[in-house]
């Protein structure tokens, strides 16, 4: 289950930047060997797109 503190949310948002040529957000932090953005949460590395999905929808992607 994804549990984020306000500090986690601020830290996550500090790692994304708008692409000036599109509506995309660019992840500018660590990536895994497959190119997926990674975010440390509660001592564990999580895929950034899963955190972004949770923040946008309130749905934990692990529960889908």
CA 47 to chain centre: 6
In a domain, 1, yes or no: no
The number of folded domains in the chain is: 1
DSSP annotation of 31 = B
Write out the two tokens for 21. 């040529």
Tokens 């996550």 locate to: 12
Please tell me the distance from the alpha carbon of residue 60 to that of residue 63, in angstroms, as a whole number: 6
Stated pTM of the model: 0.89
In a domain, 64, yes or no: no
| Per-residue pLDDT reduced to its tens digit, 9-61 | 999 999 999 999 999 999 999 999 999 999 999 999 999 999 999 999 999 98
Q: Which domain holds residue 49?
A: 6-59
């Amino acid at each position: 289950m994804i549990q984020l503190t306000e500090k986690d949310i601020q830290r996550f948002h500090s790692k994304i930047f708008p692409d000036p040529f599109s509506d995309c957000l660019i992840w500018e932090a660590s990536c895994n060997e497959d190119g997926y953005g990674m975010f440390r949460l509660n001592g564990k590395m999580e895929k950034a797109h899963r955190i972004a999905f949770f923040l946008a929808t309130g749905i934990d992607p692990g529960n889908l």
